[in-house]
Amino acid sequence: MRKNLFRDPPKRSGLYAIAAALAATVIAVGPAVGGGMKPEEVNAMFKKADANADGKVTKEELKAMDPTLAEIFDQADKDKDGRLTNKEFADLFS
């Protein structure tokens, strides 16, 4: 019984470590894809990301604003033209 008690904690802490890593990932990516943003906030962010103001946000522009968003760029770029329109960008946050 005592032996079991001593054998269990390392196993559990391993699971906790995995759970903590998963939670950290969710926290890192969550706000970016979490929704709940107001359209005007998304618009403001789109304009901020669109560094050369051509109405499209490239992966480089997105990465420059927030490297964590670049990871979901390909997912957001529905028509795969390498740029995000305002709508594609907004869909990320909806």
Contacts of 55 (CB under 8 A, 6+ apart): 85, 86
CB of residue 4 vs Ca ion: minimum separation in angstroms? 56
For residues 64 to 83, the per-residue mask of contacts with Ca ion, x marking binding by CB under 5 A and - elsewhere, is -------------x-x-x--
Q: Would you say 82 and 58 are in contact if contact means Cβ atoms under 8 Å apart?
A: yes
CB of residue 64 vs Ca ion: minimum separation in angstroms? 10
- Is residue 54 a contact residue for Ca ion (CB under 5 A)? yes
- Is residue 8 a contact residue for Ca ion (CB under 5 A)? no
What are the C-alpha distances in Å from 55 to residues 7, 20, 31, 49, 75?
Answer: 59, 39, 23, 10, 19
- Is residue 50 a contact residue for Ca ion (CB under 5 A)? yes
HSE, side-chain direction, 13 A CA sphere, residue 69: 24
What Rg value do the Cα atoms of the chain yield, rounded? 20
- Is residue 60 a contact residue for Ca ion (CB under 5 A)? no
- Is residue 46 a contact residue for Ca ion (CB under 5 A)? no
Residues lying near Ca ion in the complex (CB under 5 A) are found at 50, 52, 54, 77, 79, 81, 88
